[in-house]
Amino acid sequence: MTKLSVLNRQQPDKPTTRFTYVDGPMYFIGQQIVRKMEEMGYPSKIYTHFRTPAEQAQKKREGLSRAGPWQSPHQYGEAVDIASANHPAWPPQHDPYWEALRDAVNVVEQELGVSLSGGFDWGWDYAHIELSDWRRQ
């Protein structure tokens, strides 16, 4: 086998093993949730953490968010959107992935002593997870 063919082999995704705190506490919390999801057999990733006010306005115009600029915890770094790393689009609403995400969030809440809310609590925007008290920060 040539070096090139070894490099071109399909490699399975490696589990996330290194975490950083440089992007703030919610990003770190999101990384912990991703790690739990991987342990449960659901490869996941953080799709969104921080959004500029212009990006938030665009999301609202596109109907992808109900919040306008400065109305979303994403502008304050207090939310993450987590979804499947292998799924080309968000899984359907009743996919077992979302129940696993809820379970992972509950475990991380207990481990880190934080209170989190998610779209799975509201019945829409299942990928969204935020600090419950982000408005009081």
Please tell me the predicted confidence (pLDDT) of residue 133. Answer: 84
Alpha helices in 3-130 (DSSP H): 3-8, 25-39, 53-61, 96-112, 119-122
Please tell me the predicted confidence (pLDDT) of residue 1. Answer: 43
Nearest CA-CA partner of 134 in 85, 83, 64, 80: 80
Whole-model pTM? 0.79
88-91 contacts, C-beta under 8 A, 24 or more apart: 90/126, 90/127
Q: Burial of 121 by CB count in 10 Å (0-12 exposed, 13-18 middle, 19+ buried)? A: middle
% of the chain with per-residue pLDDT over 90 = 53
The number of helix segments (H) and strand segments (E) in the chain equals 5, 4
Give the highest mean pLDDT range of 18-22, 78-82, 87-91. Answer: 78-82
Residue type for position 126? Y
* Cα–Cα distance, 17 to 9 (Å, whole number): 22
